[in-house]
Amino acid sequence: MSERNRWIGVDALNDDSETTGIQVALVNQASLILEADETVKFDTVIHQMGKGIRYYEESGEFMFAQPGDYKLHWQVATDGTQMLRFVTFGIKINGAAYHDFALPVTTGLLASDAIFSTTSPCTVVEFYNKTKDQVRLSRHSPNANLVITRM
């Protein structure tokens, strides 16, 4: 049985009354470039509330133990693109594009919010660079921050 299946089956589904949330950041980015369609791989879990969301640093995936409604807030400090005059970040749910955040700037602290629903245990969410170009991250840390909370 995989680690993910054990986690879902053991205790994460047993208590839907607890507050569930996670805050992650990208603070030790080895490369300051996010390739087109690259999932952002946060390297630091700042805070974890409850057991309902698990983050997998190696893949950049968030797994949700329980169906429900969630709010996602993100910030990315960018320092331009190769050719484009806008930046687009997005959310994938179970590998399918769900929501885009297209911003008409390429440099600065970019931020937005989304509300989404999960309908089954083991739902996987990714935050990724949907820009059809490389995006340079700021040299200043943190490069990115993301918060997900269950509503």
In the predicted structure, residue 9 carries a pLDDT above the cut 50 = no
Fold of 3-150: Jelly Rolls (2.60.120)
Nearest to 145 by CA among 26, 45, 11: 26
Whole-angstrom distance, CA of residue 13 vs CA of residue 9: 7
Exposed/middle/buried for 113, CB within 10 Å: 0-12, 13-18, 19+? exposed
Whole-angstrom distance, CA of residue 36 vs CA of residue 42: 17
pLDDT of residue 17: 55
Q: Which helix (H) or strand (E) holds 127?
A: strand 123-129
pLDDT averaged over the chain? Answer: 85
In the predicted structure, residue 105 carries a pLDDT above the cut 80 = no
Whole-angstrom distance, CA of residue 144 vs CA of residue 151: 23
Q: Taking a C-beta distance cutoff of 8 angstroms, is the pair 101, 146 a contact?
A: no
Whole-angstrom distance, CA of residue 130 vs CA of residue 107: 16
Range 21-47 average pLDDT = 91
| pLDDT digits 0-9 by tens, 36-56 | 999 999 999 999 999 899 999
Domain boundaries, the chain: 3-150
Give this prediction's pTM.
Answer: 0.85
In the predicted structure, residue 15 carries a pLDDT above the cut 60 = no
Range 111-133 average pLDDT = 93
Range 21-49 average pLDDT = 91
Q: Taking a C-beta distance cutoff of 8 angstroms, is the pair 100, 93 a contact?
A: no
pLDDT of residue 94: 95
Residues with Cβ < 8 Å from 137, sequence gap 6 or more? Answer: 26, 29, 32, 33, 34, 76, 77, 78, 79, 143, 144
pLDDT of residue 8: 43
| pLDDT digits 0-9 by tens, 66-103 | 899 999 999 998 887 667 778 899 999 999 999 888 88
